[in-house]
Structure 1
Amino acid sequence: MLIASRQKAVIASVKAGIAEKFRTKDLGKARFILGIEIDYDMERRTSGISQKAYTESIIKKFGQENAKSCLTPLEPGVNLTKADEPQTEEDRAKMKSKPYRSLVGSLMYLACGTRPGISVAVAKLSRFLENPDQRCAIVFDGLLGTRLEAYSDADWAGNRDDRRSVSGMLLKLCGAPVVWRSTFQKTVALSSTEAEYMALSDCVKECVWMRRRLKDIGAEQVEATVIYENNQGAMALAKNVSYQARTKHIDIRYHFI
């Protein structure tokens, strides 16, 4: 169990309260937990987390010690579809001998922990757990204030099989990512504006939840949370939800903004 506070007295009080009801052992300042390393810089009064040891264990486990790194975890423009899946029994048998599921699961834990930058790549690869192909190769790239800000984006019709779009969001606190997600949208968007608007709606809901959590712990956000969005149509629609012929079909739930 991790206990964190700006005041040592509060930490001591919590420890004492727990010790009254349970047998405990104080391990001192946290350095490592669940594969996550915690580093402290007392001069700068900062702390950080990483999964270097866990990442190196993945690389060694799957025999990627000599693999070349690249600037991005997935090359731009790469679209994996069901058409890329093995079509013959020989190819299927060949891929079944590879620990594909284990590898994707290991990377998913890494993406959820400290490496949001690989979330999209892992999400794409996880769609082929049942029948992966050689194209589903993993590239290891460098795996070796309380202000809340958010980023929203969408990949319109990114899935070539059913043309659904992918919503992506990132929430940062004090410049560090605290919430990130990459998911398929439930319906097919008819335009990039609609796809971005749906993603923006989900991002706003996440911001509302996070603002409430911050208020509960004494870090209330007085100013409005800034959400960065790059689609002019979605931004215009968010500011003016009046009747428009091209957007009248959008479900009311997305007008939550």
Structure 2
Amino acid sequence: MTRVKSELRSHFDIVELGPVSWLVGLAVTHDRAARTVTVSQTALVNSVITQFGLQDAHLVSTPFDPNVHLTHADCPSDNSSHAKMTSVPYRELIGSLMYLAIGTRPDIAHAVQHLSQFNANPGHNHWHGTKHVALYLKGTRTLGLVLRGLQPLALSGFTDTSFGGQPGPAGARRSVSSFVFTLGSGAISWSSKHQPVTALSTCKSEYATAAHTARKALWLCNVLTLLDFTPSGAVPIACNNQSAICLTQEQSSHSRSKYFELDHHFLRDRIALGHISVHYIPTHEMTADILTKSLSCTPHVKFRSALSLAPPAAR
């Protein structure tokens, strides 16, 4: 860190203000005895609850009901229905939820990603689902992302896909890709997004996601190197699809893989170069599962804890 500050000082006039406690809406709490840094957005959650009039609404235990399936068929299809929704602050709430999902709340990332695809023409059911996410945050507002100073610090990743798990326009079924990276015990990078084209198999969908995850791993390695922390050895990435893992190990073309995009096969190159390693873990241990689909309460809480999201008493 001293080197980074010296480098910045050589280019800019900087003022040292001491340990950070507030940064672009993120509250940063240091516990030097426990060697933890907790990053949270409780103030923003409180603001959202007040702004959208949810102070007296009942709490919910998950960000999205796994039994609810929202599609484009729920969008207003006539002028009257569309007019009723014009006064609903759907995009405003989605924007606030997205800032939370990107900042410190990976546990809502999948729900927000799913609901944001209806921004152009949201319906009543979509609005109800968006408020559902806010009510989940209301009950978990004190959760923060806990980063622990464990030694040795090691970068590791998880990659997962929900094959055809998200309805697209015109009845299309898009797979949802997700990854999460942890440094030590805390999540430092995550993503949940639908794939731009319809995958024809679970294997292809998982392999494409693993390739995207590998690219992110290399980028994170570069960032950490700039901060004087160079990950040693190959970055391990966990995957729960045996067929996709087998494809990373094949050196010759195969009927299952000949139609894959060429850029996906760079994953094999990076494995051969020793930059990345891919290993299998079962689905019930796949932390990234929380980013691919809506889960019931028990698995949701389990994976939320695996992301190192914790209330004050657990810190």
TM-score range for the pair, normalised by the shorter chain length? 0.7 to 0.9
1:75 Cα offset (Å): 1.8
Counterpart in the other structure of 1:119 = 109
- Bigger Rg, which one: 1
Counterpart in the other structure of 2:72 = 82
**2 CA distance for matches of 1:53 and 1:69?**
18
Tell me which of 168, 190, 195 is aligned to 1:185. Answer: 195
The runs of 5 or more residues in structure 1 that have no matched partner are none
Greater fraction strand: 2
**1 CA distance for matches of 2:225 and 2:84?**
53
Q: Contact 2:4–2:227 (CA<8 Å) still a contact in 1?
A: no
Q: Deviations over 1:99-146 (max 9, x none)?
A: 000000000011110001111111111111111112112212244132
Identify which range, 245-254 or 94-103, moves more after superposition: 245-254
Matches within 5 A, 1:146-185: 146-160=153-167, 161-185=171-195
1:128 lines up with 2:118 in the alignment:
yes
Q: Contact 1:193–1:231 (CA<8 Å) still a contact in 2?
A: yes
TM-score (normalizing by structure 2): 0.72
| Matched pairs, number | 247
1:73 lines up with 2:63 in the alignment:
yes
- 3-state SS, counterpart of residue 159 of structure 1: strand
- 3-state SS, counterpart of residue 124 of structure 2: coil
Q: 1:71 to 1:240 in 2, by over 3 A?
A: farther
**1 CA distance for matches of 2:5 and 2:235?**
34
- 3-state SS, counterpart of residue 234 of structure 1: helix
Counterpart in the other structure of 1:245 = 255
1:181 Cα offset (Å): 1.3
Tell me which of 100, 125, 130 is aligned to 1:110. Answer: 100
1:37 Cα offset (Å): 0.5
Q: Contact 1:55–1:143 (CA<8 Å) still a contact in 2?
A: no
Greater fraction helix: 2
Alignment root-mean-square deviation, CA: 2.2
1:26 Cα offset (Å): 5.0
**1 CA distance for matches of 2:255 and 2:112?**
37
- Percentage of pairs with the same residue: 34
- 3-state SS, counterpart of residue 37 of structure 2: strand
Q: Deviations over 1:162-184 (max 9, x none)?
A: 22212111111122111111222
Q: Contact 1:241–1:255 (CA<8 Å) still a contact in 2?
A: no
The runs of 5 or more residues in structure 2 that have no matched partner are 142-150, 268-315
Tell me which of 78, 99, 108 is aligned to 2:89. Answer: 99
- 3-state SS, counterpart of residue 79 of structure 1: coil
Identify which range, 233-242 or 185-194, moves more after superposition: 233-242
TM-score (normalizing by structure 1): 0.87
